[in-house]
Structure 1
Amino acid sequence: MGADAVFRVEGLRKYFGQNEVLGGISLDLYAGEVTVLMGANGAGKSTLVKIISGVYTHGGGTMRLAGRAFDPQTPAEAIRAGVV
């Protein structure tokens, strides 16, 4: 994981009830790169994107945008931060 990531996710977790649907996801995104999320149905791609965009809250882990803590509680907060 590079120090110059524009967006960083570390150890992200999400539960729906007692079901853990994201188990410690880590991801770095860099300026000027295209990143693709791929996986089988039910792998957690949409859940991850919904957490990043403020639709869902997470159950653990951290997100950082431009080196600062990022934890949008609504899509409007994410949009104001430049995440769409």
Structure 2
Amino acid sequence: MSKLVFRNYDLKAIKNLLKEIGKERYEGALKDAGIIQKPLSMKGFYIEYECNTGNISLYHRYPSGISIFIIDSLGYWAIPHHGWEMLRVK
């Protein structure tokens, strides 16, 4: 069964969110997730809101098609208000 999510691909908003998160917290989240190779560009980042849980999370999709959870973003001020796309994902 699919679930309803909203995604935001606005790179300017994602850059602002990453600035608010900070380098230490970002690198710690990558380490906690077991990510060895850091994302090399901003191209694959997106923010996702899950309707069922109410979680707002930062993800990165690698060119190979693998999407990896990076950090929960709920509670940060830099979450964008515009540019959300509704999707159904499995």
**Shared topology, TM-score over 0.5?**
no
TM-score by length of 1: 0.31
TM-score by length of 2: 0.30
Which structure has more helix as a fraction of its residues? 2
